[in-house]
Chains A and B, each alone.
Chain A
């Protein structure tokens, strides 16, 4: 069932965005990515 959590090449289309990131999006990424990294690191320590 977890295969539904994985994008394969044929599942999606990728293209360059026709815009630049807003400051709000950039700031949000700066907040979210360290939290995501912590979550992955902690998950790895449980393995």
Chain B
């Protein structure tokens, strides 16, 4: 169990079932949330909305017990454009902390999942050898509406994150740019 142990004892049976369903079908659920037209005007849309309602309520009634660093990765199909937008240089070495960047907003219509272990994220990021990897780092707040799920931390859907700064480091010889983020908002669409 990560150090961000969440308070989940208040969840009712439907909310626990919704979390279990999300655990099993996360990829499909996220795909629908990010492409809502897929389910529009179908028989399943009502059931999906009920399920999402239970999941939203589970998150709204949960809270992390303390702060902790959390990480999420940027796939290579967006990472370099992301750095260009932020005007962050891929120096390839270790650098200082820059907070003079123009802040940008990252909005995810799905739920945002983080890992407290950057190694878990970096190992899954595709890229050729020595290619710069890009991850975001967030310091969770105590009382954040989030749930620990399979060693990861689940945050509400429709969250908007704001970039706050950047630093560079090496991970087993591979350059990594870390972008700091803060939650700028969340909630239903």
- Chain A residues with CB under 8 Å of chain B are 1-17, 19-21, 25-26, 28-30, 32-37, 39-41, 43-47
Measured CA separation A17–B180 after assembly (Å)? 15
Q: Is B118's CB under 8 angstroms from A39's CB?
A: yes
- Chain B residues with CB under 8 Å of chain A are 26-27, 30, 34, 69, 71-75, 77-78, 81-82, 85, 94, 97, 99, 102-108, 110, 113-115, 117-125, 135, 137, 139, 150, 152, 162-174, 176, 178, 180, 182, 184
Q: Is B105's CB under 8 angstroms from A4's CB?
A: no
Q: Is B99's CB under 8 angstroms from A21's CB?
A: yes
Q: How many A-B residue contacts, CB cutoff 8 Å?
A: 159
Is the contact region of chain B dominated by helix, strand, or loop, or is it mixed? Answer: strand
Measured CA separation A17–B107 after assembly (Å)? 11
Shortest CB distance A13–B (Å):
5
Q: Is B26's CB under 8 angstroms from A4's CB?
A: yes
Most buried by B among A1, A19, A45: A1
Q: Out of A4, A5, A14, name the residue touching B104 (CB < 8 Å).
A: A14
Q: Is A7's CB under 8 angstroms from B75's CB?
A: yes
Task: Knowing A7-B74, A12-B108, A28-B164, say if A2 contacts B119 (CB, 8 Å).
Answer: no
Q: Out of B30, B81, B180, name the residue touching A36 (CB < 8 Å).
A: B180
Q: Is A2's CB under 8 angstroms from B97's CB?
A: no
**A3 contacts which chain B residues (CB < 8 A)?**
27, 124
Q: Is B105's CB under 8 angstroms from A14's CB?
A: yes
Measured CA separation A36–B121 after assembly (Å)? 13
Rank and list the top 7 A-B pairs by shortest CB-CB distance, nearest first. Answer: A29-B165, A36-B137, A43-B119, A44-B171, A29-B164, A44-B172, A47-B172
Q: Out of A7, A15, A34, name the residue touching B167 (CB < 8 Å).
A: A34
Task: Knowing A4-B26, A7-B108, say if A33 contacts B165 (CB, 8 Å).
Answer: yes
**B174 contacts which chain A residues (CB < 8 A)?**
44
Shortest CB distance B106–A (Å):
5
**A21 contacts which chain B residues (CB < 8 A)?**
99, 103, 162, 164
Shortest CB distance B153–A (Å):
10
